[in-house]
Structure 1
């Protein structure tokens, strides 16, 4: 009898970012809407129906695709929400239900956008909350944002003081994300760290292959105030990227995309809330 046709199985192609490629920067500028569906006051993503919000994001993001840089839109969903009371488990935070995250992931995919899961840990910890999201992080189009303002340690209460994060905690999160990227052969992961005071991030951040880290400078106020804070906190060298946040409600006189792109260094991530 003849030999059977033995073929080596073709390896599965490595999944790519929603708009192609394996690396986010410098090819793309990320433009995101942040929020949560529970309350309008949790940001632009929570206002009205999700598909309408995604349509508004598309229109808002368009002017940022200047020159060679393409826009990569993102939905920044607050996946762990800080609470002013203990809540279930006593950690002063609540977690989004899987159905909510799934709905946002589907909406992001329809728009060829990233989904970023944003963490306000209360009395929990960033590593614990990130690990709780691992089923989503195995996807090629899901990243993480850390919001140190709401990182309270074992005894703080969200809203009563401003929290902070140590560089080594961010490094532990980026190492965890890098392991997931390697194990599942994924494209680069986006890791955003919010900041509006100098000591909100204490210690250096370690750049890592396969994790694109951006420090997002996010105080609200007038265009002049925002420019001043950005100039003080933005990084002019190194592999950690700069982000800039705009607030539809709290900012006095919303900066236009043209004004944002005049900032130096130009932000790689722009978030609207």
Structure 2
């Protein structure tokens, strides 16, 4: 397959901010985080005091009651969040237009990612950084394809290449899925062998989940809490069955209708969910999107996307900095660069 064979509808031009086998006992599964001041049973799995403290820090002084999220389970050992901030490069190896991951040769791409990592380490020295490559493993298409699903799955050799590149800097890998007219239930099994690896996590993109049967790119798609719950339960089972550390599940969002019934999203000790602000534009517009669609519907953790090209199209023609993002309530713990 060549680069011209893929017509990406996931590239930045189509988005606007206006619009990831441990034995578990019952007591561990029932433990929840109520806030730093709450009385909690001592967990024998992670440093719960540090977990509470870091979550409170991410809330950044919020007094709404939304943040930090209440009644979330403590994660299993090896959890990344909130102990580290994930800094990811997004894209596809077949396309120079879908993000930095595919725009540059691997050596240059990793060097550029390291520059961003260093910026975050300087801006927030109290939070270690975990580099990541966020690879679009199922790409929404402009053509229906043989099965009429308007999506193309990337071959194993390309995913293997991403894993090899990531290993050079001890980066984790996200496999991102744009289902188009397919479903997460049909797509996840194709990537199970990779999701069984401890360093591989999952991203799902409702923008290209076309439940109405519309062609991808003609309107913004949607996922319901039931779709997210299916993915998190799928990942949780893989973690338990294969003795893995918790998986991170990122969910893209830049409008309200992209995610429905967020109050019904279920949390698991085996999975950490990031609601990821995926819109582009000038800083005030991006902050508004975060404030309207991420902040008031708390799930667990938050993410924020930065676009090297589209974020500077309008005045003041500058990307937001780590210092800018650290002023948000809550502070995002997953940052993606496209």
- TM over 0.5: same fold? yes
Is the 8 Å Cα contact of residues 211 and 222 (structure 2) preserved in structure 1?
no
Task: Tell me the TM-score normalized by structure 2.
Answer: 0.72
Instruction: Tell me which residue corresponds to 1:257.
Output: 322
**Does the CA-based 8 Å contact 2:172-2:199 persist in structure 1?**
yes
Structure 1 distance, partners of 2:177, 2:256, is 20
Which residue of 146, 156, 162 corresponds with 2:214?
156
In structure 2, runs of 5+ residues without a counterpart are 1-76, 313-317
1:55 CA displacement: 1.7
**Which residue, 108, 124, 139 being the options, matches 1:81?**
139
Q: What TM-score do the two structures reach when normalised by structure 1?
A: 0.89
Match of 2:336 in 1: 271
List per-residue Cα deviations over 1:122-156 (Å, max 9, x = no partner).
Answer: 11112221121001001000001000000112622
Deviation at 1:234? 2.5
Of residues 154, 159, 178, the one that matches 2:236 is 178
Counterparts of 2:125 and 2:201 in 1: how far apart (Å)?
26
- The one-character-per-residue Cα deviations of 1:24-74 (angstroms, maximum 9, x if unpaired) are 111100110100022211111111212321221111122223232110111
Which structure ranks higher in relative contact order (CA pairs < 8 Å, sequence separation ≥ 6)? 2
Structure 1 segment 130-209 matched on structure 2, within 5 A: 130-153=188-211, 155-204=213-262, 205-209=265-269
1:123 has 2:181 as partner: yes
Checking the alignment, whether the CA contact within 8 Å between 2:295 and 2:329 is kept in structure 1 is no
Q: 2:300 aligns with which of 207, 222, 240?
A: 240
Partner Cα separation in structure 1 for residue 295 and residue 185 of structure 2: 25
Paired residues of 2:142 and 2:150 also in contact (CA < 8 A): yes
SS at 1:105 equivalent = helix
Would you say how many aligned residue pairs link Structure 1 and Structure 2? 253
Query: Would you say 1:63 and 2:119 are equivalent positions?
Result: yes
Q: Which runs of 5+ in 1 are unaligned?
A: 1-20
| Coordinate RMSD, CA, aligned | 1.4
The answer as to 2:159 corresponding to 1:101 is yes
| Mapped partners of 1:83, 1:111: distance in 2 | 31
Q: Summarize deviations over 1:82-137 as a string: whole Å, max 9, x none.
A: 00111232210001110000010111122111100001111111222112100100
* In structure 1, C-alpha distance between the alignment counterparts of 2:99 and 2:107, rounded to whole Å: 15
